[in-house]
């Protein structure tokens, strides 16, 4: 029997070194530690970020390099937004400062309104993913892990869609549908009558009720998803409208 051709030659386990590669401790120099646990968040929120120094200075620690990068990405924001980004960057590593989880959870407990109103959506997604490991309740951790998988898969399929040559807001034409079977024996999705969207999104919305730490954040992100006109869900909605008019 012919051996099947693999997508990943060393199997899924062979991806582990790549997964581990970017999770080394963010080292720092003296004076670059995280702030104390009782830091005044409101004072940081009122403190505009300085301009990014270019070119980047030589010999920076990993923490200083991360801060330098964030100064560009978060230009126009405040030191509180940058602290939030640094906390998430630390917490993605295998080893992180002892105070990082407490600061992250305190920040979301005390400044949730400010964070939802001011952080870029990309950082809100990163935040909900961080609750998968550091949420204080099982409800928070389970919801956050589901959101992690959801947004990761969304990023993969939306990235592949870019190679179709069509913009995100342009739905595919129904008459161009390829009839080849879906992989792994999965049943096809019915544009007109399929309920996969409900089975995917409704449980996330429902489970947010049982996640005191990140439930509001998760529902905020799902609402933003509903408003975005460049998602697969919006494209299917437009295709559904077109299909309904022709039947």
pLDDT at 247: 64
Tens-binned pLDDT, residue by residue, of the chain (247 aa): 678 889 999 999 999 888 887 777 788 889 889 999 999 999 999 999 999 999 999 999 999 999 999 999 999 999 999 999 999 999 999 999 999 999 999 999 999 999 999 999 999 999 999 999 999 999 999 999 999 999 999 999 999 999 988 899 998 887 788 888 889 999 888 877 878 899 999 999 999 999 999 999 999 999 999 999 999 999 999 988 887 777 6
pLDDT at 124: 98
pLDDT at 237: 92
Q: Which CB contacts under 8 angstroms, 24+ apart, belong to 117-123?
A: 118/45, 118/77, 118/78, 118/81, 119/81, 119/84, 120/74, 121/221, 121/224, 123/81, 123/84, 123/85, 123/88
pTM of the model: 0.92
pLDDT at 244: 78
Q: Count CA atoms closer than 13 A to 204's CA, side-chain side.
A: 24
- Residue 67 and residue 23: Cα distance in Å, rounded? 17
pLDDT at 24: 74
């Amino acid at each position: 029997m012919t051996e099947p051709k693999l997508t990943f030659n060393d199997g899924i386990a062979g991806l582990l070194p790549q997964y581990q590669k970017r999770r080394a401790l963010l080292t720092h120099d003296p004076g670059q530690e995280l702030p104390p646990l009782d830091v005044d968040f409101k004072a940081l929120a009122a403190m505009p970020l300085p301009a990014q120094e270019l070119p980047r200075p030589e010999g920076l620690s990993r923490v200083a390099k991360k801060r330098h990068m964030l100064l560009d990405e978060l230009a126009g924001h405040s030191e509180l937004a940058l602290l939030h980004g640094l906390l998430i960057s630390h917490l993605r590593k295998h080893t992180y400062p002892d105070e990082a989880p407490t600061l992250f959870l305190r920040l979301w407990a005390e400044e949730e309104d400010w964070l939802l109103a001011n952080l870029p959506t990309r950082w809100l997604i990163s935040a909900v993913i961080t609750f998968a490991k550091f949420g204080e309740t099982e409800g928070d951790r389970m919801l956050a892990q589901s959101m992690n998988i959801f947004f990761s898969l969304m990023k993969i399929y939306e990235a592949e869609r870019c190679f179709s040559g069509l913009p995100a807001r342009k739905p595919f034409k129904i008459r161009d549908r390829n009839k080849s079977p879906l992989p792994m024996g999965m049943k096809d999705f019915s544009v007109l009558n399929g309920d996969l969207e409900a089975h995917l999104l409704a449980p996330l919305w429902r489970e947010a009720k049982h996640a005191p730490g990140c439930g509001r954040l998760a529902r905020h992100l799902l609402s933003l998803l509903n408003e975005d006109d460049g998602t697969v869900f919006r494209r299917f909605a437009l295709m559904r409208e077109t299909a309904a008019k022709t039947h």
